[in-house]
Amino acid sequence: MPIEKVSALVLDRLAVFEFGVICEVFGIDRSADGVPNFDFKVCGPEPGMPLRTSVGATLIPDHGLDDLVGADLVAIPAIGGSDYLPEALKAVRAAAEAGAIILTVCSGAFVAGEAGLLDGRPCTTHWMHADELARRFPTARVDRNVLFVDDGNLITSAGTAAGIDACLHLVRRELGSEITNKIARRMVVPPQRDGGQRQYIDQPIPVRCSEGFAPHLDWILANLDKPHTVASLARRASMSARTFARRFVEETGTTPMQWVTDQRVLYARRLLEETDLDIDRIAERSGFGTATLLRHHFRRIIGVTPSDYRRSFACSMDPGCAKTA
């Protein structure tokens, strides 16, 4: 069932940017552009009661906590402190039990944790808070290195702008690429930096790579169709293979060849969405060489075959998403 009803939870010491991300994706009427108009509600402890934000302003919700239950999606922005209202936690828990998807932005993950929704599940939050999240919820599987984690009916995102990625990923997963592209164009952001249709944790292109190492990654991305080995990449970087491999793991959190494979799959995914190229041509352009090898790695990482993925996520022929040969 597609997302129709969206409720955003607001509490005292709300972070306005993270709240704004949720409002921008789900709270604006873009029906004139062909985007479904979500039934969007801002819900607080008491309708009409002012709440403090993190920047010295107040916000007044129009709806109460009861409107969390029955929503298709409950979105929780970053909220300061750790002493959350028991009534709010009970409402979040009840919404989840009633079938709502719970999406958190940045430290909103702590609210989900206090509501008992992180136990035994993969999740993430801002890197500054990741250790604290793991300490407070020891059974949660906290991933510190990703922009967001999609675990089906629970989506958690890292800090600030990663909330945009998580929100657009959810729209894409539930409503498809065409709707996501229209929202993203209005927001002037990429439709999806990472993500996909399966319930998985995606490793994006590193965002904290050192200035000295970044050109090596940029070159690989521009030459994915060429054959690569650790030895050949090390020679180009003027390093020994051992030093290069060690530096690569330090910079990206993964091995050189795994990173190359991941980026080839991501590029193949974009080609499947945005072009009419056949699988053999996509395999060639993305550096896999053969359709068989592409299918193997694509299914392993994305969870479906390239053909199935294209059927679900290929862009339409609207002006902002034209296919090319």
Residue pLDDT tens, the chain, 325 long: 679 999 999 999 999 999 999 999 999 999 999 999 999 999 999 999 999 999 989 999 999 999 999 999 999 999 998 889 999 999 999 999 999 999 999 999 999 999 999 999 999 999 889 999 999 999 999 988 788 999 999 999 988 888 998 999 999 889 988 898 899 888 887 665 543 323 233 444 444 567 788 899 989 999 999 999 999 999 999 999 999 999 999 888 889 999 999 999 989 988 998 899 999 999 999 999 999 999 999 988 887 889 988 887 676 434 444 444 4
Give me the pLDDT at residue 233, please: 96
**pTM of the predicted model over 0.85:** no
Q: Please tell me the predicted confidence (pLDDT) of residue 314.
A: 73
Residue spans of the domains in the chain: they are 5-187, 207-325
pLDDT for res 319: 42
Instruction: Provide CATH code, domain 207-325.
Output: 1.10.10.60
| The pLDDT of residue 134 | 96
Hey, how many other C-beta atoms are within 10 angstroms of the C-beta on 119?
A: 10
Residues 6+ apart with CB under 8 A from 144: 124, 127, 130
CATH no. for 5-187: 3.40.50.880
Measured CA to CA in angstroms, residue 251 lies from 18, 30, 60, 259 at distances of 27, 40, 43, 11
Pairing type for strands 51-52 and 58-59 reads antiparallel
Query: Which pLDDT does position 37 carry in this prediction?
Result: 95
User: What are the angstrom distances between the C-alpha of 63 and each of 8, 40, 147, 255, 273?
Assistant: 10, 10, 30, 49, 39
d(CA 40, CA 7) in angstroms, rounded, equals 6
